[in-house]
Amino acid sequence: MSHKRIPKRKAAIAVGGVAALGAAAFLIPMANASQDNASGATTAAPKTLKATGASDLAAQLQQLLGQAFAGSYYDSGKQQLVVNVVNGDSNTIVQAEKAGAVVRQVANSSKALKTAARTLKAKATIPGTAWAVDPKTNKVVVTADSTVTGTKWAKLQSTVQSLGSNMATLKKTSGSFKTFVSGGDAIFSQVQNGEVRCSLGFNVTASDGSPAFLTAGHCGVAAKDWSDTQGGQPIATVDQAQFPGNGDFSLVKYNDATTQAPSEVNVGNGQTVAIKQAEDATVGTTVFRMGSTTGLHDGQVTGLDATVNFQSETDPNGVDTVTGLIQTNVCAEAGDSGGSLFTQDGGAVGLTSGGSGDCTAGGETFFQPVTTALQATGATLGDGGAAGAGAGAGAGDAGASADPSATAADPSASAGDQAGGDQIGGAADPSATAGDQSGAGDASGTGTGTGTGDQSGANAQSGSSDQSGAAANESSSGNHQSR
């Protein structure tokens, strides 16, 4: 089978969807890097941290505190990490404070919260439900979509009540939980029911050194070969895919071993955000999501280790349960699957999986942690220097690929600035507004072009049935606005 080599111009555009930046949402100021107290460990004053610093400190304290650690979250207003401690002695508290965190004593241990989640899995695995640990309330938050009614609602309600009001809470959300077909920079695949489309999440280097990208697992399950153009020849092939079960991710290898796959997210108008490292999500952190349908949007991480019960796409009476996801209030719609979730500082956080609602009414959206996907596939973030020197070049973007940081976009900048191309040092600022970027429908216009989309083959998510159906329709619009 002959394969089309991805044009260097497109390859250089890389990760995420293409979208024109619209009116600005509120600008998120750049936080200063972690600042240690001049006096060192003798002072217990909390550190001022950026999101990346908070994530690193949380991981360190989890190791340090052991069983006393009961979760943590980022207070974005004060730029501080708050750590929950259960049954902690004075020495434990002092250690956490000296490390730079704000310590809060809580009632529920991590073990107790995980036990509650296991009870929900055993007794309430109902399509249209989800649950995740919320460290801010020190409880398991259970969410039910609009399809959970009658006896299903009664069963869910009684199960949550049996856990106790101090352990779990129940809420309703509009819409229904489903995987999102299409995504960042669109990619396409021909399947029995037509054509499906997904988005690329992040470019990576596979364990064998070949260029590849990560995308949603339901895309990889839906189709094996992906193209960067509608009806075009395949340019990438699924190597590994996980969905449902313990995750929603796929590793897709480019067929051309010389493909340059720069570590960056394309946020529209030729602007990119350099992706510097993979990092774990922290509740309270502001994150940005890029997708071909709705463009760039921002929000906060609201829960970790989430379990989502999607209605099965293949069995009307079945359920596709996915565990270990990140829960957020960032909106998304069909076509955004597989797209990148990242921080303003260039941290790769997640891959769009699914959720409820839309970018008008809002809703809950879930993401596959990038760190988990990398560990499972054996891949490493970025091109590993294998991309071929400046091959990426081509439109100005390429340059960025050769040196991602050079063109790194600054998400937080105001859309207005980006739009005018008035990037901060040429870098795009996602925070600017992520929400409006969705306006990006045009982005899709770029769809063709950015080739990235193709890379996003990742989103082939269409794996989900509606994906294939919906996706097919979405993809029919050559541009990335699949709606």
Q: Which of 189, 218, 280, 465 is catalytic?
A: 218
Q: Under 8 Å CB-to-CB from 305, ≥6 apart: which residues?
A: 117, 132, 133, 323, 324, 325
Asked whether 215 and 198 are in contact (CB, 8 A), the reply is: yes
Which residues, in sequence order, are bridge partners of residue 306?
325
Q: Calculate ∠ Cα 477-482-483, nearest 5°.
A: 110
Mapped onto helix, strand or coil, the DSSP state of residue 470 is helix
Handedness of CA 297, 298, 300, 306 (dihedral sign): positive
Which residues, in sequence order, are bridge partners of residue 132?
141
Beta strand 340-342 with 347-355 is: antiparallel
Q: How far apart are CA 167 and CA 144, in angstroms?
A: 17
Q: Which of 263, 337, 340, 401 is catalytic?
A: 337
- DSSP assignment letter at 246: S
Q: Which of 56, 145, 185, 248 is catalytic?
A: 248
Is residue 337 annotated as a catalytic residue, yes or no?
Answer: yes
Structure tokens at 295: 């463009």
Would residue 374 be called left, alpha or beta, if left means φ above 0 and alpha means ψ between -120 and 50 degrees?
alpha
Is residue 218 annotated as a catalytic residue, yes or no?
Answer: yes
Q: How far apart are CA 61 and CA 104, in angstroms?
A: 13
Q: Give the other-Cβ count within 10 Å of 390's Cβ.
A: 15
Is residue 3 annotated as a catalytic residue, yes or no?
Answer: no
Active-site amino acid positions: 218, 248, 337
